[in-house]
Amino acid sequence: MRKIHTAFTEMFGLDYPIVCAPMFLISNEDMVVEASEAGGLGSFPALNYRSIESYGEALRKIRARSSRPIGVNIIVNKSNTRQGQDLKIALDHGVEMFITSLGNPKQVISEAHKNGAKVFCDVTNIEHGKKVQDMGADGVIAVGAGAGGHAGPVSPLVLLPWLKGELSIPVLAAGGIGHGSQILACLALGADGVSVGTRFIASLESPASQDYKQAIINSTPEDIVLSTKISGTPASVINTDYIQKMGRDLSLPLRLLKDHRLTKKWAVPLIHWLGSKSLEQAAHKATWKTVWSAGQSVGMVEEVLSVAQIYRKMVEEFWQEHQRLEGLKG
pLDDT in tens, 4-61: 999 999 999 999 999 999 998 899 999 999 999 999 999 999 999 989 999 999 999 9
Rounded to an integer, what distance in angstroms lies between the CA atom of residue 105 and that of residue 208?
29
pLDDT in tens, 129-157: 999 999 999 999 999 988 887 778 899 99
Query: Helix/strand/coil (H, E, C) string of 40-58?
Result: CEEEEEHHHCCCHHHHHHH
Q: Residue 100 — left, alpha, or beta (φ > 0 → left; ψ -120 to 50 → alpha)? A: beta
Q: Counting Cβ atoms within 10 Å, is residue 114 exposed (0-12), middle (13-18) or buried (19+)?
A: exposed
Q: Residue 257 has what pLDDT?
A: 41
- What's 38's DSSP letter? T
> For residue 252, what pLDDT is reported?
42
User: For residue 240, which of 163, 292, 176 has the smallest C-alpha distance?
Assistant: 292
Q: What is the pLDDT of residue 103?
A: 82
Question: Could you tell me which of 138, 143, 121, 99 has the C-alpha nearest to residue 236?
Answer: 143
pTM as predicted:
0.87
Name the CATH topology of 7-207+300-326: TIM Barrel (3.20.20)
pLDDT per residue over 163-174, tens digit each? Answer: 999 999 999 999
Q: What stretch(es) of the chain map to CATH 3.20.20.70?
A: 7-207+300-326
171: alpha, beta or left? (left if phi > 0; alpha if psi -120 to 50): beta
Q: State residue 263's pLDDT score.
A: 52
Contact 148, 179 (CB under 8 A): no
Residue 123 pairs with which residues in a beta bridge? Answer: 142
Q: Identify whether the C-beta of residue 231 lies closer than 8 Å to the C-beta of residue 209.
A: no
Radius of gyration of the chain (CA): 19
| Long-range pairs, 107-114, Cβ under 8 A, ≥24 | 107/76, 107/83, 108/74, 108/76, 108/83, 109/135, 109/136, 109/137, 110/136, 111/87, 112/87
The answer for residues whose C-beta is within 8 angstroms of residue 16's C-beta and 6 or more apart is 3, 4, 9, 38, 39, 40, 311, 315
The reported pLDDT for the residue numbered 266 is 44
Q: Which residues of the chain fall short of a pLDDT of 70?
A: 228-234, 241-242, 244-289, 330
What is the CB-side half-sphere exposure of residue 162 using CA atoms within 13 A? Answer: 19
Q: Indicate the pairing of strand 224-227 with strand 235-238.
A: antiparallel
The end-to-end CA distance of the chain, in Å, is 28
CA 67 from centre of chain: 22
Report yes or no: 198 and 301 within 8 Å, Cβ to Cβ. yes
User: What's the residue count for the chain?
Assistant: 330
